[in-house]
């Protein structure tokens, strides 16, 4: 029997705003399958986002949904989680939202290792505003604000998250749709701040400026550059040139923020 | 039993007032001269099961505050000028999403870093127009340590009752000054909680105006699922660009405060009945003004004090009434004429308004006000 | 007490002058049952710079919280003395550290000088209690709060382990001021 997405979709809220060929819908379906596999209760799950195409995702899900200001999802979500640690808190958003205007909140959520899951849909462009370059746009690429090619070096989101202290970091792609739900489910189950970067594409504002003739061509690129971490272990540096590792990249156990704060409560109350 | 008495700083009183009101969440960022509010909250909240978090920046603090408030707790943050500028983004978010929140802003010199340890009253316009777009504004300007406590309790009541951010803005002098405070007993001051929905989850709409201009707010994690967005929204919380809905919702959000001004506004009239010259003042400046008014009366000058306790909404109608029987107003303030302009704007030219402005980090002393009274003919 | 009595404690940041002012105000407000307001002004420095703490004491409610005409001034440094003595009233009390304030301000003041910091350092044994020595002296010279109430206020503020140290500092300050007053 086909999977029933409807039980997590808000009645009457589709169609979504995403363009044909956009990967965000694939990610949303992966998230729904992950939530279902873990049997997450909708009324006990908060989906929090910032601003951008990817950040419109919460509106479609039948949960406690919070569509906040640009870049601020992690900070809003921290307030939700801290005040009500028993809630499942899942953040969704794009690369510009999360790593430029929201970069500070992102690294500090990683540092605190607060038990939330952040799904970053990295299409290396600001899609909603019409294709300006983001901190994840490849050097040299064309965007509406880099008509002569992008001079900026880009962020590696996964490395950024690991460096900042996130205890679970994974990467997938919109092409590898069947893997997305598994990565997200493992991230949600992990205790601590978990980051799942999903590479997807924006054919509308990135593809057409960068000589991708079709969505299929963009999808094929994702297929070609992705190398599972296990496979990469057996490959040489030369073979890995230009490739992107996928799968669970980092997983460690560390003190979780809400649990640590519970100890603060105990100490304060013992001293009273 | 004798009531508990203490000798406290204004900032400490704000924190204790918040705890009295039932505040159980604080998110902040260190900034002079408001930091004592955060320090007291960090020590006291965990004792009562509340949560304190120092965020990575001012913007994040306001964001975390709104997130926490949506789970049903009463929330507080504290800041000062530069931090208030940063918080404006999410203060606007709290306005449009109608999430109760209380912000203590201790007024120091500005703009920008300005004079971090010096007093000012130059944020009062920022309380109303700091964030972009049309939105309601409630701003309280207490003048004593006891009043900071009581007005902080009232700030929470107004935030919860009207589903809106409320600012409480002591100037640095009042915030750092120490005075004797008598703690009210539990139950002595009114404490208002937000209205929870009376309908089951499947019928709930977060902006359901069939319950009036202030619809009940459900808590995340209480069985209710709903959508919250900073976009213009419909009654069910989902975004819309439909002209008539956007117009109606924007008007309602401002109306819920404006139509309830009588409930929100608070001021004190001291010797105003027969006054020929009225000093309109707030915060620590009102204390200089009272001194000056008492001195003036000794010298046969019929002076009075109109002390603002809420700055927004502003008591325009009452000042218009008074303007018909006085020879003039004096408006001392630690800025270059913010209140003065508002007073001028509401008295229809009935009387001259003479401002006394200081932005040098020094308080306006009673002598300056007495001198200015001589100019009222 | 008729009207306001205004005391200013001044010196350098880190000398504990704000605390001295707070204790004086608590002695009046909490222990003596009259009105008091304490305020301060300070710079960005946690240590050094000129710092002042003002206490207004009155039988009646206090409106203006800052000094208008200062009745009694403590100056622990020359810089503070130069900066904060301009509004000391004629005949007012000027308490200075005789080692550190060499140039007295012009005017007709009731000057009391003794080595406040050295008293703390050598006679009490800890320089850190210079503020309490100064407070004891101020209590003796101003008479606006009783010695007993001031001592209670000091003890209410200090940790258990430092009670004796502070008692001694307060007592020595009180005695030396009385002696210096002549």
Is 60 exceeded by the pLDDT of residue A172? yes
Contact B305, B254 (CB under 8 A): no
Closest residue by Cα to residue C53 from C67, C64, C63, C33: C67
Half-sphere exposure of A140 (CA within 13 A, CB side): 1
The token pair at C32 is 């003596």
Contact A181, A33 (CB under 8 A): yes
Exposure string over A1-21, b if 16+ CB within 10 A, otherwise e: eeeeeeebbbeeeeebebeeb
Which residues of chain B make contact with C68, given a CB cutoff of 8 A? 291, 365-367
The token pair at C46 is 């946690």
Q: What is the ipTM of this complex?
A: 0.97
Q: What is the pLDDT of residue C2?
A: 62
CA distance B224 to chain A (A): 6
Q: What is the pLDDT of residue B2?
A: 77
Question: Using one digit for the tens of pLDDT, what is the confidence trace for B51-89?
Answer: 999 999 999 999 999 999 999 999 999 999 999 999 999
Contact B297, B348 (CB under 8 A): no
Q: Which residue segments constitute the domains of chain B, with CATH numbers given? A: 5-182 (3.40.50.970), 201-262 (no CATH), 267-373 (3.40.50.920)
Contact B178, C39 (CB under 8 A): yes
Q: What is the pLDDT of residue C50?
A: 85
Predicted model pTM: 0.96
Closest residue by Cα to residue B8 from B210, B222, B183, B225: B183
Is 80 exceeded by the pLDDT of residue A212? yes
Contact A127, A201 (CB under 8 A): no
Please name the member of B180, B284, B365 whose beta carbon is closest to the beta carbon of C68: B365
* Positive/negative CA dihedral, B142, B148, B150, B154: positive
Mean pLDDT of A159-180: 98
Question: Using one digit for the tens of pLDDT, what is the confidence trace for B95-127?
Answer: 999 999 999 999 999 999 999 999 999 999 999
Residue A70 is part of which domain span?
5-271
Strand B5-9 to strand B178-182: parallel, antiparallel, or no bridges (unpaired)? antiparallel
Which residues of chain B make contact with C22, given a CB cutoff of 8 A? 7, 178
CA distance C182 to chain B (A): 34
Please name the member of A68, A78, A82 whose beta carbon is closest to the beta carbon of B93: A68
| Chain A residues contacting B via beta carbons under 8 Å | 10, 13, 42-44, 46, 48, 58-59, 62-69, 72, 74-84, 86-87, 104-105, 107-108, 261, 264-265, 267-269, 272
Q: What is the pLDDT of residue B17?
A: 98
Which residues of chain B make contact with C30, given a CB cutoff of 8 A? 5-7, 180
Test B5 with C35 for CB contact under 8 angstroms.
Answer: no
> CA–CA separation, B356 vs B369, rounded Å?
8
Test B68 with A269 for CB contact under 8 angstroms.
Answer: no
> CA–CA separation, B161 vs B294, rounded Å?
38
Mutation choice for C interface testing from B36, B178, B285, B332 by most C CBs within 10 A: B178
CATH number of the domain bearing residue A50: 3.40.50.970
Closest residue by Cα to residue B11 from B91, B109, B78, B100: B78
> CA–CA separation, B127 vs B307, rounded Å?
18
Test C66 with B173 for CB contact under 8 angstroms.
Answer: yes
Does residue A39 come out as left (phi exceeding 0), alpha (psi in the -120 to 50 range) or beta? left
Test A84 with B71 for CB contact under 8 angstroms.
Answer: yes
Q: What is the pLDDT of residue A271?
A: 86
Mean pLDDT of B295-323: 98
Q: What is the pLDDT of residue C1?
A: 56
Test B177 with C35 for CB contact under 8 angstroms.
Answer: no
Test A80 with B231 for CB contact under 8 angstroms.
Answer: no
Please name the member of A43, A65, A67 whose beta carbon is closest to the beta carbon of B230: A67
Mean pLDDT of A183-193: 98
The average confidence (pLDDT) of chain B is 97
Is 80 exceeded by the pLDDT of residue C42? no
Share of chain A above pLDDT 90, in %: 99
The average confidence (pLDDT) of chain C is 94
Give the pLDDT band of residue C54 (cuts 50, 70, 90): very high
Closest residue by Cα to residue A99 from A153, A63, A47: A153
> CA–CA separation, A120 vs A218, rounded Å?
19
Residue C7, helix vs strand vs coil? strand
CA distance B286 to chain C (A): 8
Does residue B133 come out as left (phi exceeding 0), alpha (psi in the -120 to 50 range) or beta? left
Test A64 with B225 for CB contact under 8 angstroms.
Answer: yes
The average confidence (pLDDT) of chain A is 97
Which residues of chain C make contact with B173, given a CB cutoff of 8 A? 39, 65-66
Please name the member of B46, B73, B223 whose beta carbon is closest to the beta carbon of A265: B46
Q: Which residue has the higher pLDDT, C165 or C181?
A: C165
The answer to whether B70 faces chain A, any CB pair under 8 Å, is yes
Test B93 with A46 for CB contact under 8 angstroms.
Answer: no
Question: Using one digit for the tens of pLDDT, what is the confidence trace for A216-249?
Answer: 999 999 999 999 999 999 999 999 999 999 999 9
> CA–CA separation, B323 vs B325, rounded Å?
6
Q: Please name the chains neighbouring B, where neighbouring means 3+ C-beta pairs under 8 angstroms.
A: A, C
Contact B7, B59 (CB under 8 A): no
Contact C105, C80 (CB under 8 A): no
> CA–CA separation, A223 vs A235, rounded Å?
17
Q: What is the pLDDT of residue B1?
A: 59
Range of weakest confidence among A195-204, A223-232, B1-10, C66-75: B1-10
Question: Using one digit for the tens of pLDDT, what is the confidence trace for B198-252?
Answer: 999 999 999 999 999 999 999 999 999 999 999 999 999 999 999 999 999 999 9
> CA–CA separation, B88 vs B90, rounded Å?
5
Distance between start and end Cα atoms, chain A: 58
CA distance C131 to chain B (A): 18
Q: What is the pLDDT of residue C39?
A: 95
The answer to whether B86 faces chain A, any CB pair under 8 Å, is no
Question: Using one digit for the tens of pLDDT, what is the confidence trace for B131-174?
Answer: 999 999 999 999 999 999 999 999 999 999 999 999 999 999 99
Test B221 with A87 for CB contact under 8 angstroms.
Answer: yes
Is 60 exceeded by the pLDDT of residue C180? yes
The token pair at A211 is 């000589």
Give me the number of domains chain A comprises: 1
């Amino acid at each position: 029997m086909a999977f029933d997405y409807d039980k997590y979709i808000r009645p009457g809220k589709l169609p979504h705003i995403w363009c044909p060929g956009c990967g965000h819908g694939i990610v949303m379906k992966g998230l729904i399958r992950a939530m279902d596999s873990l049997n997450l209760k909708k009324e006990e799950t908060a989906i929090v986002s910032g601003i951008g195409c990817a950040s419109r995702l919460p509106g479609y899900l039948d949960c406690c949904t919070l569509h906040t200001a640009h870049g601020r999802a992690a900070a809003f979500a921290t307030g939700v989680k801290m005040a009500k640690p028993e809630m499942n808190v899942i953040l969704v958003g794009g690369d510009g939202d999360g790593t430029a205007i929201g970069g500070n909140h992102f690294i500090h959520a990683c540092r605190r290792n607060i038990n939330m899951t952040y799904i970053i849909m990295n299409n290396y462009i600001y899609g909603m505003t019409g294709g300006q370059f983001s901190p994840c746009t490849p050097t040299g690429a064309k965007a509406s604000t880099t008509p002569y090619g992008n001079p900026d070096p880009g962020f590696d989101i996964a490395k950024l998250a690991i460096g900042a202290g996130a205890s679970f970091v994974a990467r997938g792609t919109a092409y590898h749709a069947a893997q997305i739900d598994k990565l997200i489910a493992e991230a949600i189950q992990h205790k601590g701040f978990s980051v799942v970067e999903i590479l997807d594409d924006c054919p509308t504002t990135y593809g057409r400026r960068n000589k991708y003739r079709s969505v299929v061509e963009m999808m094929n690129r994702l297929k070609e550059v992705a190398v599972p971490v296990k496979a990469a272990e057996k490959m040489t540096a030369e073979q890995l040139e230009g490739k992107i590792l996928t799968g669970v990249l980092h997983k460690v156990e560390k003190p979780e923020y809400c649990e640590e704060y519970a100890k603060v409560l105990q100490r304060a109350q013992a001293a009273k | 039993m004798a009531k508990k008495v203490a000798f406290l700083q204004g900032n400490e009183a704000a924190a204790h007032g918040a705890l009295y009101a039932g505040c159980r969440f604080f998110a902040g960022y260190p900034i002079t001269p408001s930091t004592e509010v955060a320090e007291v909250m960090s020590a006291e909240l965990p004792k009562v099961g509340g949560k304190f978090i120092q965020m990575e920046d001012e913007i994040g603090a306001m964001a975390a505050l709104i997130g926490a408030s949506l789970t049903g707790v009463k929330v507080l943050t504290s800041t000062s000028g530069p931090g208030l500028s940063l918080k404006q983004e999410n203060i606007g978010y709290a306005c449009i999403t109608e999430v109760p929140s209380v912000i203590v802003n201790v007024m120091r010199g500005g703009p920008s870093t300005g004079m971090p340890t010096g007093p000012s009253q130059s944020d009062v316009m920022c309380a109303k127009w700091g964030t972009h777009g049309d939105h309601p504004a409630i701003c309280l300007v207490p003048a004593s340590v006891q009043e900071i406590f009581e007005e902080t309790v009232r700030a929470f009541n107004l935030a919860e009752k009207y589903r809106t951010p409320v600012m409480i803005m002591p100037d640095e002098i009042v915030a750092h000054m120490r005075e004797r405070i008598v703690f009210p007993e539990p139950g002595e001051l009114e404490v208002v909680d937000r209205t929870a929905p009376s309908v089951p989850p499947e019928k709930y709409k977060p902006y359901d105006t069939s319950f009036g201009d202030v619809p009940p707010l459900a808590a995340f994690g209480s069985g209710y699922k709903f959508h919250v967005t900073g976009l213009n929204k419909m009654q069910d919380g989902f975004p819309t660009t439909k002209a008539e809905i956007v117009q109606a919702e924007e008007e309602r959000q401002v109306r819920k405060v404006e139509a309830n001004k009588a409930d929100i506004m608070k001021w004190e009239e001291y010797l105003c009945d027969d006054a020929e010259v009225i000093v309109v003042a707030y915060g620590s400046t009102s204390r200089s003004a009272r001194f000056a008014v008492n001195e003036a009366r000794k010298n046969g000058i019929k002076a009075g004090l109109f002390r603002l306790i809420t700055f927004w909404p502003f008591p325009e109608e009452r000042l218009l009434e008074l303007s018909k029987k006085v020879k003039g107003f004096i408006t001392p303030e630690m800025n270059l004429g913010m209140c003065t302009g508002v007073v001028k704007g509401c008295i229809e030219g009935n009387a001259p308004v003479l401002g006394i402005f200081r932005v040098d980090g020094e308080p306006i002393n009673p002598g300056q006000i007495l001198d200015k009274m001589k100019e009222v003919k | 007490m008729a009207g306001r009595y205004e005391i200013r404690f001044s010196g350098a940041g880190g000398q504990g002058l704000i605390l001295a002012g707070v204790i004086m105000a608590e002695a009046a407000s909490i222990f003596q049952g009259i009105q008091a307001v304490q305020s301060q002004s300070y710079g960005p420095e946690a240590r050094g710079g000129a710092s002042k703490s003002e206490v207004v004491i009155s039988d009646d409610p206090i409106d203006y919280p800052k000094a208008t005409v200062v009745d009694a001034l403590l100056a622990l440094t020359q810089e503070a003395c130069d900066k904060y003595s301009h509004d000391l009233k004629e005949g007012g009390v000027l308490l200075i550290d005789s080692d550190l304030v060499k140039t007295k301000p012009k005017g007709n003041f009731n000057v009391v000088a003794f080595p406040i910091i050295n008293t703390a350092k050598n006679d009490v044994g800890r320089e850190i209690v210079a503020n309490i020595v100064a407070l004891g002296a101020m209590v003796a010279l101003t008479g606006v709060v009783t010695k007993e109430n001031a001592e209670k206020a000091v003890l209410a503020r200090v940790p258990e382990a430092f009670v004796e140290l502070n008692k001694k500092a307060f007592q020595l300050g009180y005695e030396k001021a009385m002696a210096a007053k002549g």
